[in-house]
Amino acid sequence: MTEKWYRQCGEQSEMVISTRIRLARNVMGYPFPNRMTDEQREELKRAVREAVEQIGGLVLEYIELRDCEQRDILAMVERHLISYDFAKQQTGALLLSPDERISIMICEEDHLRIQVLGAGLDLEAAYKMADLVETALDERLHFAFDERLGYLTQCPTNLGTGMRASLMLHLPALQERGAIRQLSGNVSKLGLTIRGAYGEGTQAQGAFYQMSNQVTLGISETAAIENLNGIAQQIIKQEQAAREAMLSMPQFEDRVWRSYGLLKYARSLSNEEALKLLSNLRIGIVSGLITDVSLEVVSALLGDIHPGCLMAQAGEDLTPESRDKRRADLVRAAMM
Amino acid sequence: MTEKWYRQCGEQSEMVISTRIRLARNVMGYPFPNRMTDEQREELKRAVREAVEQIGGLVLEYIELRDCEQRDILAMVERHLISYDFAKQQTGALLLSPDERISIMICEEDHLRIQVLGAGLDLEAAYKMADLVETALDERLHFAFDERLGYLTQCPTNLGTGMRASLMLHLPALQERGAIRQLSGNVSKLGLTIRGAYGEGTQAQGAFYQMSNQVTLGISETAAIENLNGIAQQIIKQEQAAREAMLSMPQFEDRVWRSYGLLKYARSLSNEEALKLLSNLRIGIVSGLITDVSLEVVSALLGDIHPGCLMAQAGEDLTPESRDKRRADLVRAAMM
């Protein structure tokens, strides 16, 4: 089995969990997905599938969402391979690389959403890979492009590059300090948005945040990526300073070691608690307090502990209680 | 250094932590302590000390409370060697065996309070030891005794045998079930009293309870002990049944293992949390879930983790924060 991309750590992994590049593209000669007939949709899916098969060196599995179990679809949402809206429709299809690094949603909001994921800070490489796939597909499918508006997309907010670049950041010290709201206000003035990567509460579960560019029109892909990267570097510096203060807090060590003890021995863990504890464990590893668990183990768990992932792995639907038990089993096994 | 008695486990240690026998005695020819002059008190202390020194095979350290550090006095209260009232007065003296099994308070409420402690259910042996010490002292000091009233004591509730027999019971399952209040009502009808062994809240911290006889008049020592023992056996049966139900609760294993993980790794533990976690660990050991920590380790910790004990051990006064840290250090070291 090919190792999944998220089981690794990349550049600046102390604070950057992962990178995501997503390109929205539409094929000339077809209406946007919300106006397509069933026949047109099937025709487009076939065309994209065939185009991908013609690209040398690119092996993507073709997955019809309507043929999938609900738990497998949920797992794909949790791993950020498909969007929640795409999962709901169930009329689309997905092309997916064995390492889950490259995925193409067919008939989401746009005809194609080409996505490349990567561990750590990996904007350039991820963009290069997305661009390669996009170029190869463009040759065969011919994407709708306008000299003034750039790539045509169903929603005008994606016009231009059609590119969304995101970084998943781990910001426990800034969250602890209550600094995320102000940070969010600041980055939005710079054309970026920041939100919790998991859950939907006011505070991000486990202090994992997704930061992405909002502007796609009147800016090149490279400039957008540079902008995102530059602001990320500033946030990393702020988090670094906040962490130094956090590390000298009297309760810091206790909190890290308690999290370690609970992850190592608990027999039942809710998703929310697991995220919180893994967040504490992560900063414990980065700060050098915990030496017998690697960041890779935490990264792998962050990809595996979600409800759908657990059920997909089990191959059956599970009650919340069984999931909490399985989650604790998975974490314990990984911590040994 | 002689091993302290509480570092061991005794009979029925699944539920009985320790046994205590206390005999109240007053020496003929002296007024009760609350009416004594300073001279009389000093004279009595000297007389008792000399009498003890004449008893072959009995080696007790003589401790003047006014010469003790406050933290050492607090530690003695926490280990049930002296009463809180005795600690406050600071005019009395204590005779104490190296293993802390035998102690004699001089000039508490009565002239002498002879106490013998023991691990587990140890009523007969503890009474026999207390009786031996008492008999030897009676020969030399001559205790006030009345044919009808028995041993004369300052408070009429102690007249008769002057004996208080107590068992410290661990009743987590009955506490969990909310059955302690009713139990308390039932045993009080049978001449016994039950109360939390640590802390003063409505619920006993860590589910440790002290059960003692209340009746001293018109009943022999042997009958009082048999009565206490008989009722203890019934409570043990009830706790046993409640534990069986508790063990099959889905959250039971998780709770035990979480407590194990926290005790093993926390860097700061309040007294209250430590008692709660040790209580969970204890039932985990008794139920066979935890195999790498012994009941003796838990017993030793239950004797060592209290604020005064920690400061006495450190030889200096400590802030609550430092105590919590030291407590966690002590627990961690014991769990290794």
pLDDT the model gives residue A175: 93
Average confidence (pLDDT) over A94-116: 97
Distance from CA of A252 to the nearest CA of B (A): 9
Four-residue CA torsion sign, A288, A212, A331, B284: positive
pLDDT the model gives residue A202: 54
The answer, yes or no, to whether residue A200 has pLDDT greater than 70, is no
Identify whether the C-beta of residue B20 lies closer than 8 Å to the C-beta of residue B116. Answer: yes
Residue whose pair of structure tokens reads 């009830």 in the numeric block: B238
Instruction: Verify whether the Cβ–Cβ distance B265 to A253 is below 8 Å.
Output: no
pLDDT the model gives residue A57: 87
Instruction: Verify whether the Cβ–Cβ distance A266 to B267 is below 8 Å.
Output: no
Taking the CB of residue B60, how many other CB atoms lie within 10 A of it? 18
Nearest to A171 by CA among A259, A235, A125: A235
* ipTM attached to this prediction: 0.88
Beta bridge partners of B117: B20
**Low-confidence winner among A75-89, A207-221, B15-29, B198-212 (lowest mean pLDDT):** B198-212
The answer, yes or no, to whether residue A199 has pLDDT greater than 80, is no
Distance from CA of A331 to the nearest CA of B (A): 13
Instruction: Verify whether the Cβ–Cβ distance B267 to A261 is below 8 Å.
Output: no
Taking the CB of residue B169, how many other CB atoms lie within 10 A of it? 24
Beta bridge partners of A19: A118, A167
How far is the C-alpha of A33 from the C-alpha of B40, rounded, in Å? 103
Identify whether the C-beta of residue A295 lies closer than 8 Å to the C-beta of residue A17. Answer: no
Residue of A265, A273, A277, A321 to mutate when probing chain B, most B C-beta within 10 A = A265
- Of A250, A260, A266, nearest to B265 by CB-CB distance is A260
How far is the C-alpha of A56 from the C-alpha of A30, rounded, in Å? 26
B30 to chain A, any CB pair closer than 8 A? The answer is: no
**What 3-state class would DSSP assign to B299?**
helix
pLDDT the model gives residue A145: 96
How far is the C-alpha of B279 from the C-alpha of B169, rounded, in Å? 11
Strands (E) in B152-228, as ranges, are: 163-170, 192-196, 208-213
Total number of residues shown for chain B: 336
B62 to chain A, any CB pair closer than 8 A? The answer is: no
Identify whether the C-beta of residue A87 lies closer than 8 Å to the C-beta of residue A76. Answer: yes
pLDDT the model gives residue B121: 96
Nearest to A111 by CA among A36, A178, A203: A36
Q: Which residues are CB-neighbours of A115 under 8 A, at least 6 positions away?
A: A20, A21, A22, A23, A81, A102, A103, A104, A105, A130
Give the HSE-up count for residue B203: Cα atoms under 13 Å, Cβ half-sphere: 15
- pLDDT, tens digit, 9 for 90 and up, residues A129-181: 999 999 999 999 999 999 999 999 999 999 999 999 999 999 999 999 999 99
A57 to chain B, any CB pair closer than 8 A? The answer is: no
Identify whether the C-beta of residue A32 lies closer than 8 Å to the C-beta of residue A162. Answer: no
Nearest 10 degrees: CA dihedral of B259, B262, B265, B271? -100
pLDDT the model gives residue B205: 87
- pLDDT, tens digit, 9 for 90 and up, residues B112-157: 999 999 999 999 999 999 999 999 999 999 999 999 999 999 999 9
Instruction: Verify whether the Cβ–Cβ distance A265 to B268 is below 8 Å.
Output: no
- pLDDT, tens digit, 9 for 90 and up, residues A51-96: 999 998 899 999 999 999 999 999 999 999 999 999 998 899 999 9
- Tell me the whole-structure pTM to 2 decimals: 0.91
Burial class (CB in 10 A: 0-12, 13-18, 19+), A181: exposed
The answer, yes or no, to whether residue B201 has pLDDT greater than 70, is no
The answer, yes or no, to whether residue A317 has pLDDT greater than 80, is yes
The type of residue at A215 is V
Percentage with pLDDT > 90 across chain A: 91
Average confidence (pLDDT) over B36-58: 95
Nearest to A294 by CA among A16, A15, A19, A7: A7
- Which string of DSSP letters, residue by residue, matches B227-295? HHHHHHHHHHHHHHHHHHHHHTSHHHHHHHHHHHHHHHH-S---HHHHHHHHHHHHHHHHTTS--SS-H
How far is the C-alpha of A273 from the C-alpha of B232, rounded, in Å? 41
* Residues of chain A contacting B266 with CB distance shorter than 8 Å: 254, 257-258, 261
φ, ψ for residue A322 (rounded to 5)?
Answer: -65, -35
The answer, yes or no, to whether residue B1 has pLDDT greater than 80, is no
Q: What mean pLDDT is reported for chain B?
A: 94
Q: What mean pLDDT is reported for chain A?
A: 94
Q: Please identify among residues 235-274 of chain B the ones whose CB lies closer than 8 Å to any CB of chain A.
A: 250-251, 253-254, 257-258, 260-268
Instruction: Verify whether the Cβ–Cβ distance B267 to A257 is below 8 Å.
Output: yes
The answer, yes or no, to whether residue A239 has pLDDT greater than 90, is yes
pLDDT the model gives residue B203: 63
Residue of B267, B293, B326, B329 to mutate when probing chain A, most A C-beta within 10 A = B267
Q: In chain A, where does DSSP find H-type helix?
A: 38-54, 70-78, 84-89, 123-141, 172-176, 180-189, 221-247, 250-265, 271-286, 295-304, 307-314, 320-335
pLDDT the model gives residue B265: 98
B143 to chain A, any CB pair closer than 8 A? The answer is: no
DSSP state for residue B98 in the 8-state scheme = T
- Which string of DSSP letters, residue by residue, matches A42-53? HHHHHHHHHHHH
Identify whether the C-beta of residue A80 lies closer than 8 Å to the C-beta of residue A117. Answer: yes
Nearest 10 degrees: CA dihedral of B322, B325, B326, B330? 170
Identify whether the C-beta of residue B86 lies closer than 8 Å to the C-beta of residue B92. Answer: yes
How far is the C-alpha of A295 from the C-alpha of A285, rounded, in Å? 7
pLDDT the model gives residue B311: 97
pLDDT the model gives residue B179: 94
Percentage with pLDDT > 70 across chain A: 98
- pLDDT, tens digit, 9 for 90 and up, residues B82-108: 999 999 988 999 999 999 999 999 999
Q: In terms of CA atoms, which chain B residue is nearest residue A252?
A: B267
Nearest to B25 by CA among B213, B158, B120: B158
How far is the C-alpha of B161 from the C-alpha of B151, rounded, in Å? 6
